């Protein structure tokens, strides 16, 4: 999307475009924490409802002896006191205070949800069950909520279409939580390491700088299609794929092709993935024959077979 935005700019300010790219990545990281915070918000509403029931003038036995399994969820408890998580939330001033209707709406849907009913049964206990339920909340209840998606779009243009991806990030994070880690359970960093951050910079900058020659490469390998008639997103996906193949020797060609075919399915037309796959196959053959890229280490996987 950053490459698309750059191609729509009237200037060629690559440094500004790069800043916007990293800003958008930072906003996605905000959403990662914001969605985790939503889990806590829903639990707070559950606790509030229990307290309100206890304060009734004529409480029922169930009101006085409620099932507190959800509000006592150990994984949610770990999130509440996680130093990295709470520090980030505080520093970025992330809050649901102005959108309290969303956690309340999700709470109401949760208590009518079959997964919640199953989780709240007496026989379902332990840290593993707590973790499984919180993961389901994020990856199913939250990720499938159209109201939540609309709210994210309203709050930030950078959050369009990010919910599903962020939900997967959170699932990976929570799966690594252990009860003994307590407040030090690891929250996923913005970048895995310096190499990870450099990958973003190099991929974007090289795709921009080599745009003309990559477009010529695409044009030569497109049968019965002039490049002007190919959708811009299809071209950009292929330019990024070519750039990754050429610039990153440690990444196997097949890994790159599979990744960008999936990206084409998501961002382009329904027929784009097949089209992009066919063109990229031809391009890889050409640039391999011309020795325009060299693979090393893990990047050699598949090269001997294809040669």
Q: Model confidence over 18-59: pLDDT tens digits?
A: 999 999 999 999 999 999 999 999 999 999 999 999 988 898
- Same domain assignment for residues 110 and 217: no
Q: If pLDDT is split at 50, 70 and 90, which confidence band does 12 have?
A: confident
Please say if the pLDDT value at position 223 is more than 80.
Answer: no
What is the pLDDT, as a whole number, of residue 9?
84
Locus of tokens 């077979």 = 305
Please say if the pLDDT value at position 305 is more than 60.
Answer: no
Report the distance separating Cα 147 and Cα 151, nearest Å. 6
CB atoms within 10 A of CB 214: 22
Tokens, residue 190: 């913005």
Q: Are 264 and 230 in contact (CB under 8 A)?
A: no
- Same domain assignment for residues 163 and 32: yes
Write out the H or E segment, with its range, that includes residue 206: helix 194-209
- Same domain assignment for residues 172 and 226: no
Selection from 293, 304, 271 nearest residue 214 by Cα: 293
Give the pLDDT confidence of 85-101 residue by residue, as tens digits.
999 999 999 999 999 99
Report the distance separating Cα 120 and Cα 141, nearest Å. 16
Residue 152 structural domain: 11-184
Give the pLDDT confidence of 233-276 residue by residue, as tens digits.
999 999 999 999 999 999 999 999 999 999 999 888 888 889 99
Start-end of H helices in 2-100: 2-8, 14-54, 61-64, 74-81, 83-92
- Same domain assignment for residues 173 and 50: yes
The residue among 163, 184, 205 that closes a domain is: 184
Q: Are 177 and 131 in contact (CB under 8 A)?
A: yes
- Is 4 a member of any domain? no
- Same domain assignment for residues 178 and 209: no
Look at the chain and report how many structural domains it folds into: 2
What is the pLDDT, as a whole number, of residue 304?
60
For residues 223-230, give the mean pLDDT: 73
Distances (CA, A) of 14 to 9, 109, 198, 208, 300: 10, 45, 16, 8, 32
- Is 3 a member of any domain? no
- Same domain assignment for residues 234 and 256: yes
- Same domain assignment for residues 246 and 103: no
Reported in sequence order, the residue ranges of the chain that DSSP labels E, i.e. its strands, are none
DSSP 179: G
The residue among 184, 204, 231 that closes a domain is: 184
Q: Are 185 and 75 in contact (CB under 8 A)?
A: no
Q: Is the dihedral of CA 50, 53, 55, 58 positive or negative?
A: negative
- Same domain assignment for residues 164 and 211: no
- Same domain assignment for residues 18 and 158: yes
This prediction has a pTM of: 0.88
The residue among 131, 161, 184 that closes a domain is: 184
- Same domain assignment for residues 48 and 175: yes
Burial status of residue 57 (CB atoms within 10 A of its CB: 0-12, 13-18, 19 or more) = exposed
CATH number of the domain bearing residue 271 = 1.10.940.10
Q: Are 268 and 231 in contact (CB under 8 A)?
A: yes
Q: Mapping DSSP to helix (H, G, I), strand (E, B) and coil, where does residue 238 land?
A: helix
- Same domain assignment for residues 210 and 159: no
What is the pLDDT, as a whole number, of residue 125?
86
Give the pLDDT confidence of 199-211 residue by residue, as tens digits.
999 999 999 999 9
Give the pLDDT confidence of 117-141 residue by residue, as tens digits.
999 998 878 999 999 999 999 999 9
What is the pLDDT, as a whole number, of residue 181?
94
Please report, rounded to a whole number, the percentage of residues in the chain having pLDDT higher than 70. 97
Distances (CA, A) of 277 to 213, 238, 273: 19, 9, 6
Name the average pLDDT for the chain. 93
- Same domain assignment for residues 169 and 210: no
Report the distance separating Cα 43 and Cα 78, nearest Å. 13
Comparing 97-106, 233-242, 296-305, the range with the smallest average pLDDT is 296-305
Q: If pLDDT is split at 50, 70 and 90, which confidence band does 188 have?
A: very high
Locus of tokens 């300010």 = 13
């Amino acid at each position: 999307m950053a490459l698309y935005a750059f191609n729509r700019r009237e200037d060629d300010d690559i440094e500004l475009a790069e800043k916007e790219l990293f800003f958008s990545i930072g906003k996605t990281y905000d959403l990662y924490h914001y969605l985790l915070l939503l889990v806590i918000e829903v639990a707070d509403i559950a606790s509030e409802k229990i307290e309100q029931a206890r304060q009734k003038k004529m409480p029922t036995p169930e009101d006085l002896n409620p099932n507190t399994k959800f509000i006592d969820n150990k994984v949610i408890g770990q999130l509440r006191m996680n130093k990295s998580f709470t520090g980030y939330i505080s520093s970025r001033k992330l809050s649901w205070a102005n959108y309290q209707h969303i956690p309340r709406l999700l709470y109401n849907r949760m208590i009518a949800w079959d997964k919640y009913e199953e989780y709240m049964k007496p026989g379902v206990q332990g840290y593993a069950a707590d973790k499984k339920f919180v993961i389901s909340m994020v990856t199913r209840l939250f990720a499938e909520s159209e109201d939540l998606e609309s709210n994210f779009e309203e709050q930030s243009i950078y959050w369009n279409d990010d919910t599903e991806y962020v939900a997967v990030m959170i699932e990976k994070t929570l799966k690594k939580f252990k009860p003994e880690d307590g407040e030090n359970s690891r929250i996923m960093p913005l970048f895995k390491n310096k190499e990870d951050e450099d990958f973003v910079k190099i991929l974007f900058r090289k795709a921009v700088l080599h745009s003309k020659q990559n477009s010529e490469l695409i044009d030569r390998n497109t049968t019965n299609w002039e490049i002007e008639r190919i959708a811009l997103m299809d071209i950009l996906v292929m330019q990024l794929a070519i750039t990754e193949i050429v610039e990153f020797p440690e990444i196997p060609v097949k890994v790159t092709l599979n990744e960008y075919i999936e990206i084409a399915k998501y961002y382009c037309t329904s027929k784009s993935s097949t089209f992009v796959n066919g063109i990229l196959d031809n391009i890889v053959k050409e640039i391999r024959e011309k020795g325009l890229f060299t693979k090393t280490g893990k990047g050699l996987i598949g090269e001997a077979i294809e040669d």
